[in-house]
Amino acid sequence: MDKIHLIIADDHPVVRNGLVGMLESQPDLIILGEASDGEAAVHLATTLEPQVVLMDLRMPGMDGVTAIREIKKRCPDIHILVLTTYDSDSDILPAIEAGATGYLLKDSSREDLFGAIRAAARGESVVAPAVTALLMERMRAPAEEKLSIRELEVLGLVSEGASNADIADRLHISQATVKSHLVHIFGKLGVSDRTAAVTVALQRGILHLD
């Protein structure tokens, strides 16, 4: 049986201990090391060169997405399997874009985790069913819902009650450009005013208020 060498990156010791105990029950899964943050994960991965890194996303210091990007830049042959509790597209998409081979949730079964690690070691993409459904929903979303990053910034400031002049000042753009962005936002959301734009964006999950 081919051995699969692993590194576990998670900032919670209890989680790491639980994963170690679970994975050590499988004779083909060999744990080379553990990291409590992204920087340590990058160091271990580039030094030990495992086939697979189990990567949490939200860790102190360097986060998981940055760590994924750094590892893939230095060691492109290492496969990174995200293992997290977060299933929002704001977490999933950056991780996949950074180079993650797969995305699994921490409530996955032992068998699913073992299978995902083995698949990741073969370079196969593994994505939790709930994550797949979310990605498919996003891909099917009407084109008018997909605002640009700048449009999202403008809409976010509108939701805070900022005037066109305030937005122009904060984003270092002209008021004419702000008005142009608002016209595009209204068209994409199918609305005709600022209040409706914010309301629709909140209903559709495009905009989130803290």
Does 209 fall in a domain?
A: no
Tell me: do 121 and 147 sit in the same domain.
no
Please say which residue of 124, 139, 154 terminates a domain: 139
pLDDT, one tens digit per residue, over 155-210 is: 999 999 999 999 999 999 999 999 999 998 988 888 888 988 898 888 888 887 66
Quick one: pLDDT at residue 136?
A: 67
Six-digit token pair at 118? 């083995």
Tell me: do 83 and 171 sit in the same domain.
no
Tell me: do 190 and 175 sit in the same domain.
yes
pLDDT interval class at 102 (50, 70, 90):
very high
CB 166 within 8 A of CB 157: yes
Q: What angle do CA 185, 192, 139 make, to 5 degrees?
A: 40
Tell me: do 20 and 110 sit in the same domain.
yes
Quick one: pLDDT at residue 144?
A: 46
pLDDT, one tens digit per residue, over 61-73 is: 999 999 999 999 9
Does 208 fall in a domain?
A: no
Tell me: do 131 and 158 sit in the same domain.
no
pLDDT (average), residues 54-79: 94
Six-digit token pair at 151? 């449009």
The residue segments making up the domain with residue 177 are: 143-203
CA distance 123 to 119: 6
Six-digit token pair at 39? 């920087």
Tell me: do 121 and 149 sit in the same domain.
no
Tell me: do 117 and 152 sit in the same domain.
no
Tell me: do 69 and 113 sit in the same domain.
yes
Tell me: do 83 and 180 sit in the same domain.
no
Write out the H or E segment, with its range, that includes residue 18: helix 13-23
CA distance 184 to 200: 14
Residue 141 confidence (pLDDT) above 60: no
Tell me: do 121 and 165 sit in the same domain.
no
Please say which residue of 105, 139, 173 terminates a domain: 139
Residue 47 confidence (pLDDT) above 90: yes
Does 210 fall in a domain?
A: no
CATH code (residue 84): 3.40.50.2300
Tell me: do 16 and 64 sit in the same domain.
yes
Does 196 fall in a domain?
A: yes
Tell me: do 181 and 119 sit in the same domain.
no
Does 35 fall in a domain?
A: yes
Residue 107 confidence (pLDDT) above 50: yes
Considering its fold, how many domains does the chain have in total? Answer: 2
CATH code (residue 151): 1.10.10.10
Please say which residue of 89, 112, 139 terminates a domain: 139
Residue 87 confidence (pLDDT) above 80: no
Residue 132 confidence (pLDDT) above 80: no
Q: Are strands 29-35 and 52-55 parallel, antiparallel or unpaired?
A: unpaired
